[in-house]
């Protein structure tokens, strides 16, 4: 009985304490703007074994990604690698697209979903891998 009373008191104390904790609002240093950063990874192999050509990629970038993020983006060539359940290592040439957009995250997610669906449809691809980071600050260096 003593243990359950002590446990109850501890739980009540924790609930009261956590109720007093407030989240501080994120703020960027002066001169920088808060953004959400999206990194998208597009595998370049079609299901039939051939690769997405540079011309196909450039067209996709121009007609699907850039109109949704006209403020700019960066594209990097990377190598994707993973291990299948049978322990065979797979590798795939990949394009990584980095985008930043003002919050809220939901606005960017809608556009990312549209881009991912179009890529999967156009190139018969697996879903696009994505990484999302919030509370980042960006700005131009004026040195």
Tokens representing residue 124 in the block: 């018969």
Residue-range domain boundaries for the chain: 33-138
Instruction: Indicate the DSSP class of residue 45.
Output: B
Architecture of domain 33-138: 2-Layer Sandwich (3.30)
Tokens representing residue 14 in the block: 């924790």
Instruction: Indicate the DSSP class of residue 62.
Output: I
Q: Quick check: 7 pLDDT over 70?
A: no
The 10s digit of each residue's pLDDT in 59-112 is 999 999 999 999 899 999 999 998 999 999 999 999 999 999 888 888 899 999
């Amino acid at each position: 009985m003593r243990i359950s009373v002590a446990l109850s008191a501890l739980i009540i104390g924790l609930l009261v304490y956590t109720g007093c904790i407030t989240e501080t609002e994120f703020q960027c240093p002066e001169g920088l703007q808060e953004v959400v950063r999206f990194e998208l990874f597009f595998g370049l192999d079609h299901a039939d074994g051939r690769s997405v050509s540079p011309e196909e990629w450039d067209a996709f970038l121009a007609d699907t990604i850039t109109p949704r993020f006209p403020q700019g983006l960066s594209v990097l060539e990377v190598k994707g690698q993973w291990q299948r359940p049978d322990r065979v290592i797979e590798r795939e040439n990949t394009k990584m697209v980095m985008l930043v957009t003002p919050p809220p995250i939901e606005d960017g997610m809608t556009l990312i979903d549209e881009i991912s669906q179009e890529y999967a449809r156009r190139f018969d691809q697996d879903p696009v891998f994505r990484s999302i980071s919030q509370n980042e600050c960006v700005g131009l260096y004026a040195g």
